[in-house]
Amino acid sequence: MEYEFEKRRITGGIGADDEYWRGLERGEFRLPRCAGCGRWMWPAHFRCGACGSWEMEWHRTVPKGTIYSWTRSWYAFERVKERAGDVPYVTALVEIEGAGGARVMGVLVGDETDLRVGAAVTGEILPPTEKAKGYPSIVWRLADASDAVPSPV
Ligand SMILES: [Zn+2]
């Protein structure tokens, strides 16, 4: 499926996050940071709430972090009926490592055995699909336990 960014802009969106979607389209995970004071801003805004600057810089960021919150959908709601075949599925809100507390939402894929708040995850950018309403998307996967730093006992 060909991604048509300008035709598929998020309904009701204000366009401040356009660079996020353009980044995903190129396979890049990018988040905005104020050029004036350096504050990370997600969701994206046109103007910094901390210093008032209108200048944003979009930084290519490693899509990894920890689960801040998550929920399991047991029903195929009308606005996401494309995911009816996936029910039940988990959506995670992930606090991105090194991005000032920015939290990015996405569907969790793969093994859910260690699913919990605080669990480490890595993101994978998917090309546009019907399930994602024609947008590129990021999905989260629990980080391999073998990658975790063992806790001192
Ligand atoms: Zn600022």
CATH number at residue 68: 2.40.50.840
pLDDT at 14: 77
Which residues of the chain, if any, have pLDDT below 50?
1-2
Ligand 1: distance of its center to the CA of 37 in Å? 4
Tokens representing 145? Answer: 């336990």
List the beta bridge partners of residue 66. 95, 120
Ligand 1: distance of its center to the CA of 25 in Å? 27
Tokens representing 139? Answer: 């999905």
Residue that terminates a domain, selected from 29, 61, 93 = 61
Ligand 1: distance of its center to the CA of 34 in Å? 5
Same domain, 33 and 101: no
Same domain, 41 and 71: no
Residue 5 is assigned to a structural domain of this protein: no
Ligand 1: distance of its center to the CA of 38 in Å? 6
Residue 152 is assigned to a structural domain of this protein: no
Same domain, 20 and 72: no
Same domain, 73 and 136: yes
Same domain, 67 and 57: no
Same domain, 36 and 96: no
Strand runs labelled E in the chain: 30-34, 56-60, 64-73, 89-96, 103-109, 120-126, 137-142
Ligand 1: distance of its center to the CA of 103 in Å? 18
pLDDT at 110: 95
Give the angle subtended at the CA of 20 by the CAs of 34 and 8, to the nearest 5°: 140
pLDDT at 5: 63
Q: Residue 116 and residue 124: Cα distance in Å, rounded?
A: 19
pTM of the model as a whole: 0.86
Residue 103 is assigned to a structural domain of this protein: yes
Same domain, 132 and 67: yes
**Domain count within the chain:** 2
- In terms of residue numbers, what domain contains 20? 14-61
Residue 134 is assigned to a structural domain of this protein: yes
Ligand 1: distance of its center to the CA of 40 in Å? 8
Same domain, 67 and 56: no
Same domain, 94 and 129: yes
Q: For the chain, give the number of residues.
A: 153
For the chain, the first-to-last Cα distance in angstroms comes to 50
Do you find a cis peptide bond into 128, omega within 30 degrees of 0?
A: no
Residue 97 is assigned to a structural domain of this protein: yes
pLDDT at 1: 46
